[in-house]
Chains A and B, each alone.
Chain A
């Protein structure tokens, strides 16, 4: 059983909603990434989403664009991101890690090579924002035990949801707004109405993200979703903190979300 599947099964048994924080690998510098991953887990994260920096992050808002630029200024490559995951795995063999990024760095490495290296490094899932299900290398990923995560959006038709359901594993990720990451225009009612539709067509756990900025929103989402993904807000906090305070601030923020999620679930 994949680490993602097992984690979601365990959480369901414990009636706990998965908290999935996102950080960009190599932001603010490559030396800090593994320590930040451990901190996120200690503060209550159940799954980690690690961004692979790409020069042209088309689907990302300003916060993650800046994080990407900081990481690229340190020359962070896909290979180094895999090394970071391997470094994380030396002390944590339990928490699933999902890589989120864009097609080209993986294309350049080659899907087969990437899947092999990622599997060995201890990656569990892969989300390539600009690879739609029609083009997905889900078969190659499956051979290497990697889950292929897909986005679902408010504009995704029922027919496309079925296609995505066939090719996805691990969980599906509902983009809670029309926009880029970190935007501020989520319609909570729309999300609440939409999640049961997704559940009807897809048996996988449903995560919700893009635009969740505070504990209150996270708590509300947690009433009907299986996982809450938070990215841009965390990135903003990282960039506003002196580097010696980043771990403390992550702990405060992620710990706060965790408490809200645990308190909010009936």
Chain B
């Protein structure tokens, strides 16, 4: 089976993905799919995308050999893909540049987005400022309080941040509200969805824009390490950074692909955000995939120390990669992620995002049992400056 050939023409990855939205959005999704299809074959469009990634985002992001940390763990060599060094501090900007260029191409003057931790909101507000578009960001009311520095960043960039007080007042509710806005303003508004989820063509489109991460690694790893890694590890919330680094490696069958979900207080506690590890397939937010749900099909509240992973669903391509066995999915708890966070700060001088710390935590589990000439490539999807309040709070410190 050629896993690289997915999705099919209906936007499906095996039984997952597809389009599950109200009729009002069908025309908009058709328009988006057709325009994206034209854009990806338009050399001028793709040239501008890559020009922006190079000169505005600062790509390619380096791959870095974390020598001291590897030595500390005493096994495999760990390499980090430094998405934290991108403009705005995370991989999210790769996708928002791509979608904003598409919005401009479609003549849309207003962009909207959902955000959890605020990273995608900041990346959207950034490109809206860059291209002169009006920008509205929906954010769960609880997240607005938890992530106040990012709220202010978005405002500085000219975005209107709308707190969402319905449901669980977090990312999933922000997504619902963004969808409602889109239905209402569908003629002049482009919805910049932040992760490789949602109705077709979003999972494919976000993956394509984020695949620059893995494409660069394919070149960088042989240059730096002399070969491709034995395993690629990335954290998975909605799954955009993971699919971005996994996808170019799909046909490299000897490279293990490992997605790390948010284990929260532990998978047995029920307080986590790990639908692939402990959920069941269902339909939410326009697509079919694994979901955190109760026996009545209601979506249940998730928990993670990292707001960016605090989402009850997961991108449909990950569901398919899990079922086909091409990728493995595991979970790291809040505590494990925190330990890896502190390790990287102290041994490498890099403050990682709490999201990325989940991927690091799995490297901590794998590396010691591996040979010293084996290689783990970890996607360091974002920097942790945004998380210092959370980390301080956990340590009982008020900043």
Q: Give residues in A with beta carbon < 8 Å to B.
A: 54-62, 65, 69, 72, 77-79, 102-109, 129-132, 134-135, 150-157, 160, 164, 175, 178-180, 183, 185
Is B399 an interface residue, CB under 8 A from the partner? no
Expressed in whole angstroms, the Cα–Cα distance for A61 and B184 within the complex equals 11
Write the chain B residue with the least CB distance to A78: B296
Interchain CB contact under 8 A, B298 and A72: yes
Expressed in whole angstroms, the Cα–Cα distance for A69 and B286 within the complex equals 21
Interchain CB contact under 8 A, A108 and B26: no
Is B172 an interface residue, CB under 8 A from the partner? yes
Contacts of A175 in B (CB 8 A): 22-24
Expressed in whole angstroms, the Cα–Cα distance for A59 and B22 within the complex equals 7
Write the chain A residue with the least CB distance to B20: A130
Expressed in whole angstroms, the Cα–Cα distance for A134 and B199 within the complex equals 13
Cross-interface CB contact of B283 among A69, A107, A151, cutoff 8 Å: A107
Interchain CB contact under 8 A, A59 and B180: yes
Expressed in whole angstroms, the Cα–Cα distance for A217 and B37 within the complex equals 42
List 23 interface pairs A-B (beta carbons < 8 Å), by A numbering.
A56-B172, A56-B284, A56-B285, A58-B21, A58-B22, A62-B166, A65-B167, A77-B296, A79-B296, A102-B283, A103-B20, A104-B282, A104-B291, A104-B293, A107-B281, A108-B293, A108-B296, A130-B283, A151-B24, A160-B26, A175-B23, A178-B186, A180-B184
Size bracket of the B interface: 35 or more
Binary contact track B295-309/A, C-beta < 8 Å → 1, others 0: 111111000000000
Apart from A54-B298, A107-B282: 19 A-B pairs, beta carbons within 8 A: A55-B167, A55-B300, A56-B284, A60-B180, A72-B298, A102-B283, A104-B293, A104-B298, A108-B282, A130-B20, A130-B22, A132-B21, A132-B23, A150-B23, A178-B24, A178-B184, A179-B180, A179-B183, A183-B184
Expressed in whole angstroms, the Cα–Cα distance for A63 and B299 within the complex equals 20
Expressed in whole angstroms, the Cα–Cα distance for A89 and B280 within the complex equals 34
Interchain CB contact under 8 A, A105 and B183: no
Interchain CB contact under 8 A, B283 and A132: no
Contacts of B24 in A (CB 8 A): 59, 151, 153-155, 175, 178-179
A151 to chain B, nearest CB (A): 4
List 10 A-B pairs, minimum CB-CB distance, nearest first. Answer: A108-B297, A105-B297, A155-B27, A77-B296, A179-B184, A153-B24, A103-B283, A151-B23, A59-B22, A55-B298
Expressed in whole angstroms, the Cα–Cα distance for A55 and B284 within the complex equals 10
Contacts of B281 in A (CB 8 A): 107
